[in-house]
Amino acid sequence: MGLTPIQGSTRGERLATTPPGRFADPLAAAGSADALSGGVSGPTPLDIENVLSAMAALLLADRSSDERAGAAAVQSDRQQTQEALQKQMQEIEREARDTGGHGFFSCIGKLLKDVSADVTQLHIGRLPGDALSDVEACDNPKFWSDLEVGAKAVSAIAAAAATVCTAGAAGPLVVAVAVALSAAGWAVQETRWLGSASGWVGGGLALAGAAVSCGGALAASSTAAATALAQSASTTTNSTSLAQTAGAAATMTGAGATIVSAAAHLGVSGYQADDLQAQAEAQAAASSATLFAQMEQWAIDSLSEQVRSHCDAMAVLTDTIQTSNREALVAARSLSRG
């Protein structure tokens, strides 16, 4: 091999002083195509030196580029993780709003207290504002839930009272059976006594109760004309009339309570749905945060691996350059001896 002494400083020093980007094109840095391909006469030490320097420069450029890309990926993942966590927090707060609040009596008590305080202290100007804010505060899931439970209880009691008072219309037996079926359906459904089948069994019993009621109604209709004829000349007794009026009042009360209960149920289910929606969104945000955090960690791992790999490559390249230097030195000595 036609080795020639290396002129100038060592490759290590050149590497340190080589401006970045100087050897952007390894072919240009190598000096000639022969240096890379080996040529007919083989590479000279200067060619090898250029190739090694070009490799070192490329490694540095590659490392810098990889580190920038890796850092950008880590930064992006971190930002997305933060955003997802922020969204999760917002949804958790929303969830808390959709499940909290003051109960029925607390809300009504506060409203009455504020109104009475404003009236007794003659702060009439503040009365509308206080009342409005108290009413707005009543719009919470706990309030509607309490109202629903209370209205249901009132409705059930009123239904029982109405049954006792108006049993005569469709016949006591028919009414009793219908009420028993409906009550059993209600009890099964409310207590979930039969597990997942409770809903269907409860619904079936309620429908059976309705069917019996329909039978009673049919009976009442068919006998209405006959009884009307029979009663046309007479008047009902006072006690019957009173019982029927009380029964009607109880039914009316129960009907009102049912309507209130249904309206409250609308509010409660709305809040429940909002709560579940918030849970779903929080879960989605948590999943995203976990995924982005995982990606961030992996990007950091990858970046560390790249840095380590580059360092290893640079160490190997440095060793190679040193070996090449020693070879050139030996060649120079042998030439000078010769």
Least Cβ distance, residue 127 to other proteins (angstroms): 32
Rank residues 35 and 138 by Cβ distance to other proteins and give the closer one: 35
Least Cβ distance, residue 219 to other proteins (angstroms): 9
Rank residues 59 and 138 by Cβ distance to other proteins and give the closer one: 59
Least Cβ distance, residue 249 to other proteins (angstroms): 7
Rank residues 101 and 209 by Cβ distance to other proteins and give the closer one: 209
Rank residues 106 and 324 by Cβ distance to other proteins and give the closer one: 324
Q: Which of 186, 187, 179 is nearest to 210 (CA)?
A: 179
Q: Rounded distance, CA 10 to CA 51, Å?
A: 14
Least Cβ distance, residue 153 to other proteins (angstroms): 14
Least Cβ distance, residue 132 to other proteins (angstroms): 25
Least Cβ distance, residue 315 to other proteins (angstroms): 8
Rank residues 22 and 326 by Cβ distance to other proteins and give the closer one: 326
Rank residues 78 and 265 by Cβ distance to other proteins and give the closer one: 265
Rank residues 46 and 255 by Cβ distance to other proteins and give the closer one: 255
Least Cβ distance, residue 37 to other proteins (angstroms): 14
What secondary structure, in 3-state letters, does the chain show? CCCCCCCCCCHHHHHHHCCCCCCCCHHHHHCCHHHHHCCCCCCCHHHHHHHHHHHHHHHHHHHHHHHHHHHHHHHHHHHHHHHHHHHHHHHHHHHHHCCCCCCHHHHHHHHHHHHHHHHHCCCHHHHHHHHHHHHHHHCCHHHHHHHHHHHHHHHHHHHHHHHHHCCCCCCHHHHHHHHHHHHHHHHHHHHCCCHHHHHHHHHHHHHHHHHHHHHHHHHHHHHHHHHHHHHCCCCCCHHHHHHHHHHHHHHHHHHHHHHHHHHHHHHHHHHHHHHHHHHHHHHHHHHHHHHHHHHHHHHHHHHHHHHHHHHHHHHHHHHHHHHHHHHHHHHHHHHHHC
